[in-house]
Structure 1
Amino acid sequence: MSLIPLARLLPGRRSWGRSAAALAIAAVFAALFTAPAQAADGQITGLGGKCADVAGASNANGTPVQLYDCNGSNAQRWSLPGDGTIRALGKCLDIVDRGTADGSLVQLWDCAGTPNQQWVVSGANDIVNPQADKCLDVRDRSTANGTRLQIWTCSGQPNQKWSAPGGDPQPGGFVVSESQFNQMFPGRNSFYTYSGLTAALSAYPGFAKTGSDTVKKQEAAAFLANVSHETGGLVHVVEQNTANYPHYCDWSQPYGCPAGQAAYYGRGPIQLSWNFNYKAAGDALGIDLLGNPWQVEQNAAIAWKTGLWYWNTQNGPGTMTPHNAMVNQAGFGQTIRSINGSLECDGKNPAQVQSRVTKYQQFTQILGVAPGGNLYC
């Protein structure tokens, strides 16, 4: 395809390339470890059928949280009150020193409403801290009593799988179940995980949570339909044409291109590109994407967050954000205009518009909701 003009101020729409190899080792570990049982009596069960446990049943600040034989004691009774916290003995599951690095330990601490005490329980049975974009993890994959719990980059391995009380994928629930997500994307790249998506949702709590159940499902279907179109069904993670890579650095910006001239190519579900878009998205999300844009192709939750950033905050060539287009019932066609209207709408590329509309209609059917009007732009 032809190059996007350098003056364009939104993610380009180009051909794509496959991401790094899928996490094949996950299947090996899945064969070695037993999947967690269903939670009961407020227990959080994990590797080897053992429980998340507060050491010594102490509620002192700094008490370690560990893996231990399930025994039904108060040290293993956890609650998810719906505010993003996970609580036991009147205190919150907390990341030591507000760490975000792999291996940061977890403990019990006074509930403070801080990001290191926020957790999302995904439909894939991951427990994710959205700030760190990492999963609750059993250290060294050990099933020994007393093994410390920590956070680690989400890998889908059994030492990161948990069954928590309540069973709600996240506070308020996401209108797309994991089985529906898999039905929508049967050939998706393993990089684009459902748990990564549900972990990213906390960044924009209004997404698919605004309006009636019909509107919520329509918005989720609209976002995923556009994402599907952009990525070939969640197959492609990065832009394929490497010859384009040096063109996405705008040196007129005062911060320049600290990651390099060719570092700001398209990545993620709505192909974030250009240094100024990486800067804006990173600032909004509290992540240094200008300095390290590769995070978007290495971390599923961050990739999903960049897509949600664009969807919820950017008008693009349109007159409203895609989020507002759906919740205000302007119609799916306005989401196309906001994402790529300058190249597709008003008769410029009707085949591409039809591709998006067809996918949206398929996804609304999966969710059991009418697509609404104004589908075209």
Structure 2
Amino acid sequence: MSRKRTIASLAALAVAVALAVVVPMSSASAATCATAWNSSAVYTGGMTASHNGRNWQAKWWTQGEAPSTGGSGVWADQGTCGGGTQPPPGTNCNHPAWVAGQWYPAGSIVRYTNGQYYRAKHENPGYDPIISTWYWEPYSCGGQPPTTPPGGNTGFVVSQAQFNQMFPSRNGFYTYSGLTAALSAYPGFAKTGDETTRRREAAAFLANVNHETGGLVHIVEQNQANYPHYCDTSQPYGCPAGQAAYYGRGPVQLSWNFNYKAAGDALGLPLLTNPWLVQNDAAVAWKTALWYWNTQSGPGTMTPHHAMVNGIGFGETIRSINGALECNGRNPATVQSRVNAYQRFVQILGTTPGNNLYC
């Protein structure tokens, strides 16, 4: 081979290499999609998942929160994958109206009474789309953005920044968006009375939640030896999920089969047969806490909501939650822990604690 031909060949090779460098990669080869996000899977910091044509990386522990740039901020967007962006939303808006009690397979799309559309993430027997957010998700129809999830504009007296200040070490499961989504179940909560009353009630609720979960750290009861003890077999419905299935879960550590039955009936959720919803869905977890706060008197004589909106005082909320073990001098250190959290939270919310702090 002549030297001239060799030089020409090398020149051609150089051009080819240059072209290979300059020509941009197609979107199809930009990135390989990670394993698809699974709503029931647990993700810890650094784990990845793909969702709607994009890769996402978890910043901390999460479960049940779909990857997006909103919510709690647990997911970091890693860019498109698999050759493109999210496919355009469907243009067919002739989806049927939602009917309570009708069976919906996963993937079903319905028009809710507010005129917005929802898609079933999980099959369900006609649960309400704006309450049962584990079963339903907002759906974009006809090129319009999806419905703002419940709680997107709630007017809640606690801002996300204040919530984060109250719970600096909280578990990623306990999202602010989960809390605000749950508010629709009990619209009178923290919205009854004057501004001071509203702020005091929110602070009282969160102070008790803080104590029950160690600062929103624990999702389930830590003492597993107690798990088999929460099945009251005298109830006619028994314990269909298993004798050890009704242990404490969520912000108020909901426990016992009869409480799961009552809360599920009130919220339209199958908590008696599927108590694990409380530890898998943040909105459901918060709803069970609000159910207890607004409707149950426990060992007390009134609901915690009644105690706060009628000026009875924070001490009566303690009595309604755990008064049999803590009040009337039984455990003053625990009571003081709740009071300390309440005083700190009302300060964050810019109000005063009021009277009758102890029980």
**TM-score after normalising by structure 2:** 0.68
SS of residue paired to 2:307: helix
CA distance in 2, matches of 1:279, 1:221: 28
Match of 2:125 in 1: none
Q: Residues 150-165 of structure 1: matches in 2 within 5 Å?
A: none
1:105 correspondence with 2:109 = yes
Match of 1:196 in 2: 178
1:273 correspondence with 2:255 = yes
Match of 1:346 in 2: 328
Q: 1:180-219: CA deviations, max 9, x gaps?
A: 1111111111111111111111111110111111111110
Gaps of at least 5 residues in structure 1 are 1-19, 37-46, 64-91, 119-127, 140-145, 150-161
Percent identity, aligned pairs only, is 61
Q: 1:107-155: CA deviations, max 9, x gaps?
A: xx5x73599779xxxxxxxxx832343574689xxxxxx9999xxxxxx
1:55 correspondence with 2:91 = yes
Kindly state the Cα deviation for residue 269 of structure 1 after the two structures are TM-superposed.
Answer: 0.7
SS of residue paired to 2:220: strand
1:255 correspondence with 2:234 = no
State whether residues 300 and 323 of structure 2, in contact with CA within 8 Å, keep that contact through their aligned partners in structure 1.
yes
State whether residues 101 and 132 of structure 1, in contact with CA within 8 Å, keep that contact through their aligned partners in structure 2.
no
State whether residues 150 and 184 of structure 2, in contact with CA within 8 Å, keep that contact through their aligned partners in structure 1.
no
Match of 1:231 in 2: 213
Equivalent in 293, 296, 308 of residue 326 of structure 1? 308
Gaps of at least 5 residues in structure 2 are 1-40, 59-66, 71-79, 120-128
Q: Using CA pairs under 8 Å that are at least 6 residues apart, name the structure with larger relative contact order, 1 or 2.
A: 1
Shift of the 335–297 alpha-carbon distance from structure 1 to 2, 3 Å rule, reads same
Equivalent in 310, 313, 317 of residue 335 of structure 1? 317
Match of 1:284 in 2: 266
Match of 2:347 in 1: 365
Equivalent in 313, 333, 356 of residue 295 of structure 2? 313
State whether residues 204 and 342 of structure 2, in contact with CA within 8 Å, keep that contact through their aligned partners in structure 1.
yes
Kindly state the Cα deviation for residue 100 of structure 1 after the two structures are TM-superposed.
Answer: 6.6
SS of residue paired to 1:239: coil
CA distance in 2, matches of 1:249, 1:201: 29
State whether residues 117 and 139 of structure 2, in contact with CA within 8 Å, keep that contact through their aligned partners in structure 1.
no
State whether residues 278 and 284 of structure 2, in contact with CA within 8 Å, keep that contact through their aligned partners in structure 1.
yes
Shift of the 198–51 alpha-carbon distance from structure 1 to 2, 3 Å rule, reads farther
CA distance in 2, matches of 1:207, 1:52: 38
CA distance in 1, matches of 2:335, 2:190: 23
Amino acid at match of 1:131: S
CA distance in 1, matches of 2:177, 2:103: 21
Equivalent in 171, 176, 181 of residue 163 of structure 2? 181
Q: 1:50-78: CA deviations, max 9, x gaps?
A: 9997838xxx6439xxxxxxxxxxxxxxx
State whether residues 22 and 189 of structure 1, in contact with CA within 8 Å, keep that contact through their aligned partners in structure 2.
no
Kindly state the Cα deviation for residue 30 of structure 1 after the two structures are TM-superposed.
Answer: 4.7
Kindly state the Cα deviation for residue 304 of structure 1 after the two structures are TM-superposed.
Answer: 0.7
Match of 1:88 in 2: none
SS of residue paired to 2:208: helix
CA distance in 1, matches of 2:311, 2:210: 21
**TM-score after normalising by structure 1:** 0.65
Kindly state the Cα deviation for residue 241 of structure 1 after the two structures are TM-superposed.
Answer: 1.5
Tell me the C-alpha RMSD between the 2 structures.
3.9
State whether residues 89 and 142 of structure 2, in contact with CA within 8 Å, keep that contact through their aligned partners in structure 1.
no
Shift of the 348–202 alpha-carbon distance from structure 1 to 2, 3 Å rule, reads same
Amino acid at match of 1:112: T
CA distance in 2, matches of 1:171, 1:31: 27
Amino acid at match of 1:376: Y
Shift of the 264–217 alpha-carbon distance from structure 1 to 2, 3 Å rule, reads same
CA distance in 2, matches of 1:115, 1:246: 43
SS of residue paired to 2:216: coil
Equivalent in 302, 319, 344 of residue 284 of structure 2? 302
CA distance in 2, matches of 1:288, 1:148: 34
State whether residues 215 and 327 of structure 1, in contact with CA within 8 Å, keep that contact through their aligned partners in structure 2.
yes
Shift of the 330–191 alpha-carbon distance from structure 1 to 2, 3 Å rule, reads same
State whether residues 116 and 129 of structure 1, in contact with CA within 8 Å, keep that contact through their aligned partners in structure 2.
no
State whether residues 91 and 142 of structure 2, in contact with CA within 8 Å, keep that contact through their aligned partners in structure 1.
no
CA distance in 1, matches of 2:254, 2:172: 19
